[in-house]
Amino acid sequence: MTATGAREGRRGGREARRQARTAVQIRALPVLERRVPVYEVLNPAGLERIHEASLQILEQVGIDFRDAEALELWKEAGAEVERWRVRIPRELLMALVAKAPAEFTVHARNPERSTVIGGDRVAFAPTYGSPFVYDFDNQRRYGTLADLNDFHKLAYMSPAMHNTGSVVCEPVDVVVPKRHLHITYSAIRHSDKPFMGPVTAPERAEDAVEMVKILFGEEFVERNTVMISLVNCNSPLVWDETMLGALKVYARANQAVIVAPFVLAGANTPASAMGAVAQLNAEALAGIAFAQLCRPAAPMIYGHFLAAVSMRSGAPMAGTPELALMNYAIGQLVRKYRLPMRSSGMLCGAKTVDAQAAYESVQTMWPVLLCGANYVMHSAGWMEAGLAASFAKFVLDAEQIEMFYKFGQGPQFDDLEDALRAVREVGPGGHYLGTEHTQSHFQTAFLIPELADNNSFEQWQLDGSRDATARALETARRMLDTYEPPALDPAVDEALLGFIREREAVLPDSMD
Amino acid sequence: MTATGAREGRRGGREARRQARTAVQIRALPVLERRVPVYEVLNPAGLERIHEASLQILEQVGIDFRDAEALELWKEAGAEVERWRVRIPRELLMALVAKAPAEFTVHARNPERSTVIGGDRVAFAPTYGSPFVYDFDNQRRYGTLADLNDFHKLAYMSPAMHNTGSVVCEPVDVVVPKRHLHITYSAIRHSDKPFMGPVTAPERAEDAVEMVKILFGEEFVERNTVMISLVNCNSPLVWDETMLGALKVYARANQAVIVAPFVLAGANTPASAMGAVAQLNAEALAGIAFAQLCRPAAPMIYGHFLAAVSMRSGAPMAGTPELALMNYAIGQLVRKYRLPMRSSGMLCGAKTVDAQAAYESVQTMWPVLLCGANYVMHSAGWMEAGLAASFAKFVLDAEQIEMFYKFGQGPQFDDLEDALRAVREVGPGGHYLGTEHTQSHFQTAFLIPELADNNSFEQWQLDGSRDATARALETARRMLDTYEPPALDPAVDEALLGFIREREAVLPDSMD
């Protein structure tokens, strides 16, 4: 990639200065400020029909909040509560949703990496939650903490990844009760970009909040958002105790949460693309409204995970046309509510990084960019409906994301007059390669992807007839070989490690 | 693919009835009537700047028409002619362009396959012009007439391919002076969809016109368009004698021509995306205007072929962000001129059907659909910057095109009320798979691609751990095994073969 890029600036402190002298300067792109329009597939009447359907679902069918405190909060606020079931009047719902900010900043420990979420901005984050990895021998096996460290390093070194992520792969070699500590530490230590927090239990969310207080200072964290976490709704229409527990911790700590219905369309939604959108919209709005009961103005991201279920096999599918239509429709709804939006970028169901993997990933990503999503999870590395994270696909996807980024910057006109002078100079039948205009503009005019092989067939054979996966694995290896950690104050690092030791002393080694 | 489809109806005639009794009924989709909006990246001022730049290029720099008759026609029309150079006043240019129809029908020998080109319609056609093929053993070798027959059969059997194409691969085993006869016959014989004509010499274009007169009747061809042919501008700003020769033959015979600047952006255009668009717009408009001098209202398609040149290697690149921006900008210009537009769909530079091939193809196709292109060449099979056509990629691409087709039909609301009833019925925590609504809607609600493997890793292993390419080759083989030719009146067939014999008797065996 040569077309766009901002150099990392120097950071304060002795350690940072030492680092700056020795470190490989990484390329990092700021959050994309999208200068191309959004794309819309719904007319105003269609948009209103879905909005109205969602309100009716929450008023008439209701939604389960399987958490005693949550039910109390809803009752106090004026909702109709019957066992777990909450029916939310539309005025109450919309008044709560309106309290959520339209945009907010997620601070990074390197201030240059802080990202504004919302509006016309787009931030990209890697894949999340895979128990398996496709490793450097392209073999599928359970993920380890070493793999996770490597993914966090790659996220740090990928210019268009704006977030380090969290559990890119599950570090299965760390026991579950202690795993969140090591995941969070890995994201902090190996990158200086914002990262995501654990949600598997409220106490684990609390541990993460403690860790960011060590990293940023307690007062800073109280006043600022430094973490984005992900809670999923159990569709249809159930917010469970675990997810609500994490949501409450983060919302009360002023930390951002992606409130995401997990849609397997046709299985946990009706077999109707727009019907599924109406249901997930009800689920997301109810979750965001609830967060405002925990802390008014808590920063929330309207999220969703979308797959369609193959009615032949029951398997989730990615990259199909209805999912594209759904992403566009959801984008229109989220703009109506003036909320930041999360979607998922480079999804696929493939078991090898083949044409299927790439077709489905780009089929997913175009609608995600053009629907106006502000925070794009699963932008790099996702395989096999999320069951596995691939190093090869991580770097391939990351390069595709750089191309989407460049597209999102829109058409450039500043070089047009010069270009027209070149047309006059060259004239019919001429050639542009030797002109002064070409010499001075070629570095920026057309992005040149590094992982694409556009050489002749003969040259490609001479180079070993390697497919994109083989080239990508070599690139990923080279990146990790040249990786140098971003500076981290040794005192802070020691405090984080101390906190982990302290917690590990009291946490059990198994879930029993 | 199970979501959309129209059955082939019966055709008249004894042969057709026999055929209908025995033939495998093929699925065929009518030309897409796009029900989603176009996407635009230029504001009105940006659009006008490019339009104005193109007019200035044609008025001030001029464009070469390297054909004596063409120069005479331009002089008579009032352009300024100096040797090959033609400078065209904007009023003359736009008056001529306005004579070209905004849409027209290309008739097929099976009337159900006739396609309207223009407006909100989209027709897809296979790749074109590759000397090499990747065969059923996935080996790269020169193409043969047998390969071309197979590609024409696959185009016939692919529901979203609306055109059989022409020289999908070059039949290198047929001598060049006679090749056009066999290419055209193959397209006529193996499919009943519209097809494309040869352009390599005016006499070859004349042979194709004779062949369609045999097929459709002389009078029908004089009054109707039955063929689309492709002429390329030698950018920058040269229309050469060969291409103008074919253009004149087809335009005078009322046959459609795609007038297509062949852009290697940065090499034969300025190193500026919008500058390149200004130049190619001048080239396309000049060609379309010239066709109107040959026959007013001759059906023309505003075309282009877009690649960007890697400034590192000189190789053409596909799927990069500037090419997407250029497609969108060109779409806006073409709508301003009220012309049908051609673009190119599934382009890539890969030498194997890997992730690169698929990333680049879908990166190309999304902008092509949303820019409003009406005729999409290279929708299936393109590899290696067009040097090779792949059977595997043909069927993979064709399935992706079916997905774009479904997207283009837009969101469906007719199932929304039923879906909301299902939400009430299932309620929080329930499951939709067993509901009556799901049972009755699952066939149409979510498209299920057949070539995507979304099974578990374990099932995929049991099935042989085959990647998308291996699965696609098997599908292509199975399609060809079950292929049955569409009915063709034996008398017409004999007349076509007689014409070929007659021409072969007088044509030389070599170009010397």
Name the residue with tokens 């609301």. Answer: B413
CB B441 to CB A271 under 8 A?
yes
Taking CA atoms, what residue in B is nearest to A134? Answer: B457
Write the residue in B46, B53, B269 that is nearest to A432 by C-beta. B269
Q: How far is A13 from chain B (nearest CA, A)?
A: 39
The confidence score (pLDDT) of residue B216 equals 98
Amino acid at site A99: K
A-B CB pairs within 8 A amount to 420
A56's CB contacts (< 8 A; 6+ apart) are B420
- Which residues share a beta bridge with A319? none
Of B233, B212, B31, give the one whose Cα is nearest residue B113. Answer: B31
Q: How far is B193 from chain A (nearest CA, A)?
A: 25
The confidence score (pLDDT) of residue B10 equals 36
The confidence score (pLDDT) of residue A225 equals 97
The confidence score (pLDDT) of residue B443 equals 80
CB A320 to CB B447 under 8 A?
yes
Q: How far is B33 from chain A (nearest CA, A)?
A: 15
Pairwise CA distance, residues B362 & B381, whole Å: 13
Provide the 8-state DSSP code for B200: S
The confidence score (pLDDT) of residue B24 equals 53
Judged by a CB distance cut-off of 8 A, whether residue A433 touches chain B is yes
B450 Cα distance to chain centroid = 23
Question: How far is residue A447 from each of residues A31, A350, A397, B325, B347, measured CA to CA in Å?
Answer: 18, 28, 16, 12, 16
Pairwise CA distance, residues A250 & A489, whole Å: 26
Q: How far is A447 from chain B (nearest CA, A)?
A: 7
Pairwise CA distance, residues B328 & A35, whole Å: 14
- What are the respective helix, strand and coil percentages of chain A, to the nearest 5? 50, 15, 35
A382 near A361, Cβ under 8 Å?
yes
Pairwise CA distance, residues B422 & B348, whole Å: 44
Judged by a CB distance cut-off of 8 A, whether residue A418 touches chain B is yes
The confidence score (pLDDT) of residue B512 equals 65
- Which residues share a beta bridge with B63? B86
Q: What is the mean pLDDT of residues A334-347?
A: 98
Write the residue in A308, A349, A469 that is nearest to B354 by C-beta. A469
Q: What is the mean pLDDT of residues A281-298?
A: 98
Structure tokens at B352: 């194997």
Pairwise CA distance, residues A159 & B233, whole Å: 39
A85 Cα distance to chain centroid = 31
CA-atom Rg of chain A in angstroms: 23
Taking CA atoms, what residue in B is nearest to A449? Answer: B320
Element (H, E) at A44: helix A44-56
Pairwise CA distance, residues B161 & B28, whole Å: 8
Amino acid at site B184: T
| Phi, psi at B383, each rounded to 5° | -135, 160
The confidence score (pLDDT) of residue A434 equals 86
CB A411 to CB B384 under 8 A?
no
The confidence score (pLDDT) of residue B5 equals 34
B163 near B117, Cβ under 8 Å?
no
Range with the poorest average pLDDT among A295-309, A313-327, B7-21, B438-452: B7-21
Of A245, A197, A139, A175, give the one whose Cα is nearest residue A473. Answer: A139
Amino acid at site A386: G
The confidence score (pLDDT) of residue A21 equals 47
Of B197, B194, B163, give the one whose Cα is nearest residue B183. Answer: B197
Tell which of B454, B456, B463, B473 to mutate to test the A interface (max A CBs under 10 Å): B454
The confidence score (pLDDT) of residue A313 equals 84
Ramachandran assignment for A496, one of left (phi > 0), alpha (psi -120 to 50 degrees), beta (any other)? alpha
Amino acid at site B99: K
Q: Name the H helices within B231-349.
A: 241-252, 273-294, 321-337
A122 Cα distance to chain centroid = 10
**Residues 226-265 in B contacting A (C-alpha not used; CB under 8 Å):** 234, 236-238, 265
Question: How would residue A8 be classed by pLDDT, with cut points 50, 70 and 90?
Answer: very low
Question: How would residue A462 be classed by pLDDT, with cut points 50, 70 and 90?
Answer: very high
Tell whether the torsion through CA atoms of A96, A99, A104 and A106 is positive or negative.
negative
A307 near A316, Cβ under 8 Å?
yes
Omega into A236 within 30° of 0, i.e. cis?
A: yes
Ramachandran assignment for B466, one of left (phi > 0), alpha (psi -120 to 50 degrees), beta (any other)? beta
Tell which of A63, A134, A272 to mutate to test the B interface (max B CBs under 10 Å): A272
A434 to chain B: which residues are within 8 Å by CB?
A: none
Provide the 8-state DSSP code for A341: B
Q: With 0-12 CB in 10 A as exposed, 13-18 as middle and 19+ as buried, what is A40? A: buried
Q: What is the pLDDT of residues A402-423, one digit of tens each?
A: 999 999 999 999 999 999 999 9
B199 near B243, Cβ under 8 Å?
yes
A293's CB contacts (< 8 A; 6+ apart) are A73, A74, A77, A96
B325 to chain A: which residues are within 8 Å by CB?
A: 407, 410-411
Question: How far is residue A80 from each of residues A60, A87, A235, measured CA to CA in Å?
Answer: 10, 5, 20
A59 near A89, Cβ under 8 Å?
yes
Provide the 8-state DSSP code for A113: G
Question: How would residue A16 be classed by pLDDT, with cut points 50, 70 and 90?
Answer: low
Residue A26 has pLDDT above 90, yes or no: no
Pairwise CA distance, residues B153 & B162, whole Å: 13
Write the residue in B321, B329, B355 that is nearest to A403 by C-beta. B321
Structure tokens at A418: 């010069």
Of B159, B166, B207, give the one whose Cα is nearest residue B188. Answer: B166
Structure tokens at A152: 């966090």
Pairwise CA distance, residues B364 & A293, whole Å: 46
Other CB atoms within a 10 A radius of the CB of residue B200 amount to 17
Judged by a CB distance cut-off of 8 A, whether residue B431 touches chain A is yes
The confidence score (pLDDT) of residue B7 equals 35
Of B239, B90, B278, B323, give the one whose Cα is nearest residue A424. Answer: B278
Q: How far is B308 from chain A (nearest CA, A)?
A: 7
CB B411 to CB A325 under 8 A?
yes
CA-atom Rg of chain B in angstroms: 23
CB A278 to CB B451 under 8 A?
no
CB B275 to CB A433 under 8 A?
no
Q: What is the mean pLDDT of residues A181-198?
A: 98
Tell which of A281, A351, A475 to mutate to test the B interface (max B CBs under 10 Å): A351
Name the residue with tokens 């292993």. Answer: B461
What's the predicted TM-score (pTM) here? Answer: 0.95
The confidence score (pLDDT) of residue B99 equals 98
- Which residues share a beta bridge with B390? B134
DSSP helix/strand/coil, A110: coil
| Count of residues in chain B | 512
The confidence score (pLDDT) of residue A24 equals 53
Question: How far is residue A501 from each of residues A212, A311, B295, measured CA to CA in Å?
Answer: 16, 49, 85
**Residues 272-291 in A contacting B (C-alpha not used; CB under 8 Å):** 272-276, 278-279
Provide the 8-state DSSP code for B286: H
The confidence score (pLDDT) of residue A3 equals 34
Residue A20 has pLDDT above 70, yes or no: no
Ranges in chain B, pLDDT < 50: 1-12, 21-22
B244 to chain A: which residues are within 8 Å by CB?
A: none
Other CB atoms within a 10 A radius of the CB of residue B345 amount to 26
